[in-house]
A and B are shown apart, each in its own frame.
Chain A
């Protein structure tokens, strides 16, 4: 079946370093991808998104890269801060209106002071 998955379950980084979180997807028809951050006891919080007609998109301290050739998505966080500690999910949305989001399993980012 089609799935979205993450390569690593946990990632520990030093405060101030850059973080890279990776995600593989298998639905080649997906045209919209989103990274979410989830803090304990809260709902998924939008970080950044990208459409399939782009390969890079930058936000404030975050960059999403999309490689459609290998169906790979990554989230880069610059100068990681303690407040970035959370679980990060990638999600994909199949083409067409009202398509559901398919989430990856989630990776825990832990920032060391």
Chain B
């Protein structure tokens, strides 16, 4: 069964450093998403991406965040200057149709120290 792959599985970074979280969506999917989950809380939407541009973003997704699909297979989330409160699980998801059939990756646990 096709999977969404995320790397690394765990990233530890110092406050103020830049991090890039990587995702390989399912190959024929057209819609891409990032969500995050702070420990013990619900999954929160960050951003959606379609046709090489951001479709929608949440209030969480401020100027410190950016997304890219640099080579037609990877989908990355960059946090420019990490804060302690950025510590969370970050999930990538993709879908073929945009409103149906989402597949989530296993997540990257980001720990900011």
Complex contact B91–A98 (CB within 8 A): no
- Of B35, B56, B58, B103, the residue contacting A98 (CB under 8 A) is B56
Q: Which residues from chain B sit less than 8 Å from chain A, CB to CB?
A: 4, 31, 33, 35, 41-45, 48, 50, 55-56, 58, 91, 97-100, 102-107, 109
Alpha-carbon gap, A46 to B94, bound state (A) = 13
Q: Which residues from chain A sit less than 8 Å from chain B, CB to CB?
A: 32, 34, 36, 41-46, 49, 89, 91, 93, 95-106
Can you list 28 A-B contacts with CB-CB less than 8 angstroms, sorted by A residue number?
A: A32-B100, A34-B102, A36-B104, A41-B106, A42-B107, A43-B91, A43-B106, A44-B43, A44-B91, A46-B103, A49-B100, A91-B43, A93-B99, A93-B100, A97-B97, A97-B98, A97-B99, A98-B50, A98-B56, A98-B98, A99-B99, A100-B33, A100-B58, A101-B33, A103-B35, A103-B42, A103-B43, A105-B42
Q: Pick from A32, A41, A43, A102 the residue with the most CB of B within 10 Å.
A: A43
Complex contact B99–A104 (CB within 8 A): no
User: Given A89-B43, A100-B45, are A43 and B102 also a contact pair (CB < 8 Å)?
Assistant: no
Alpha-carbon gap, A39 to B31, bound state (A) = 25
Q: A51's closest neighbor in chain B, by CB?
A: B100
B94 to chain A, nearest CB (A): 12
B50 to chain A, nearest CB (A): 5
In the complex, chain A residues whose CB is within 8 Å of the CB of B33: 100-101
Complex contact A101–B42 (CB within 8 A): no
In the complex, chain A residues whose CB is within 8 Å of the CB of B48: 98, 100
Complex contact A106–B42 (CB within 8 A): yes
Complex contact A43–B42 (CB within 8 A): no
Q: Pick from B50, B99, B103, B109 the residue with the most CB of A within 10 Å.
A: B99
Complex contact A43–B107 (CB within 8 A): yes
Alpha-carbon gap, A46 to B50, bound state (A) = 22
Complex contact B106–A98 (CB within 8 A): no
B36 to chain A, nearest CB (A): 11
